[in-house]
Structures are given as C-alpha cells and as structure tokens.
C-alpha cells in the first residue's frame, strides 16, 4: 500500500523521536490515537518501520574516532565477496560495510577510541580479512552533519 501524507508525517515524527507515546504522536500528526495506532501497526507490518533503537553517544561510549576504510579485493568472484562479507560482519568496531561501485570494492565505517586503538583494530581484524588486495583509511576530523532519518517527502 503506498504511503500517504499522514503516513509520511508519522514516519518523520518517529524518526525524530522513536519513543514518542502514541498519544503524543497522534497529536503531532493530527490524528485520533486509535487511527494513529492502527497506522503505526500497519507501517511496522509492511516493514516501513524496521525496528526501534537507542542511538548512543560515541564520545560517551569511548569511541569518538570515526575512520572510513576503502577496501579493494583481489578478485570479484562470488566466493571472495561472500567470504569477505561474512568476515567483516563479525568485527565489532565496524558500524557499516557497503559494496561500492568505483575505485574501491567496499567502504567501511569504523569507530575507535583513538589512532592507537584503530591500529589495534587494523592489526587484529582488518589486516586479516580474506581476499584484500589494498586498503586505505581516512580519519574523520569532525562530523559536520549526521542523521539516521531518511527523507520521507
């Protein structure tokens, strides 16, 4: 079922404040609480809403350093890609892994305490990933903008 403007307002509101009560949500989107609840249930059932999570503060969690790692593999065969993806998914410090089009095969987003901690992560995990031909790391100096909210308009 396609999203209407009310569904989009619900999704936008929940992306800003996922713990909002149904009463507050219904007031925000100008809908009765029961109708709002039914819509949220439908959006969950249809997988528009995948999950609800708590977003943690990286600095307070002791991992304020973000490193983007470009990885080029030795080959593009399915078994090489599968082995790499399976291994990288087990690294606790890797927040994201993207198969890329362009100069690198994969782009990883890694968090660390500092440069020394990233060196440990590199030695302990990244350097041991299967099929890697080349790796280039770039340290984020400052996060200018960051959101988890998808555009809903």
Give residue 72's Cα distance to chain centre. Answer: 21
- Range 25-45 average pLDDT: 98
Report the distance separating Cα 149 and Cα 72, nearest Å: 29
The pLDDT value given to residue 67: 98
Residues 32 and 74 in one domain: no
Helices (H) and strands (E) in the chain, counts: 5, 4
Let me know if residue 107 belongs to a domain: yes
Residues 17 and 70 in one domain: no
pLDDT tens per residue, range 129-153: 999 999 999 999 999 999 999 999 8
Residues 41 and 70 in one domain: no
Domain with 75 in it: 65-139
Let me know if residue 110 belongs to a domain: yes
The pLDDT value given to residue 17: 96
pLDDT tens per residue, range 69-123: 999 999 999 999 999 999 999 999 999 999 999 999 999 999 999 999 999 999 9
* Residue 25 in this model has a pLDDT that exceeds 90: yes
Residues 135 and 69 in one domain: yes
Residues 69 and 135 in one domain: yes
Residues 126 and 72 in one domain: yes
pLDDT tens per residue, range 38-75: 999 999 999 999 999 999 999 999 999 999 999 999 99
CATH number of residue 82's parent domain: 3.30.70.920
Let me know if residue 40 belongs to a domain: yes
Let me know if residue 60 belongs to a domain: no
The number of domains in the chain is 2
Let me know if residue 92 belongs to a domain: yes
Residues 29 and 91 in one domain: no
Let me know if residue 147 belongs to a domain: no
State the Cα angle at 47 between 110 and 24, rounded to 5°: 90
* Residue 1 in this model has a pLDDT that exceeds 90: no
- Whether pTM exceeds 0.85: yes
Sequence-separated (6 or more) residues with CB below 8 Å from residue 26:
32, 33, 35, 36, 37
């Amino acid at each position: 079922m396609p999203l209407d403007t009310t569904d989009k307002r619900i999704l936008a509101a929940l992306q800003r404040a996922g713990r909002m009560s149904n009463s507050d949500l219904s007031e925000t989107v100008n809908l009765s609480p029961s109708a709002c609840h039914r819509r949220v249930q439908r959006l969950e059932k249809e997988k528009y809403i995948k999950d609800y999570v708590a977003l943690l503060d990286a600095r307070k969690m002791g991992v304020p350093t973000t490193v983007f790692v470009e990885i080029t593999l030795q080959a593009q065969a399915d078994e090489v890609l599968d082995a790499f993806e399976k291994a990288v998914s087990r690294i606790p410090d890797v927040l994201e892994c993207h198969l890329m089009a362009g100069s690198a095969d994969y782009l990883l987003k890694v968090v660390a305490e500092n440069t020394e901690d990233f060196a440990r992560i590199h030695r302990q995990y990244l350097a041991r990933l299967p099929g890697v031909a080349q790796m280039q790391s770039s340290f984020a100096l400052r996060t200018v903008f960051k959101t988890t909210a998808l555009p809903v308009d």
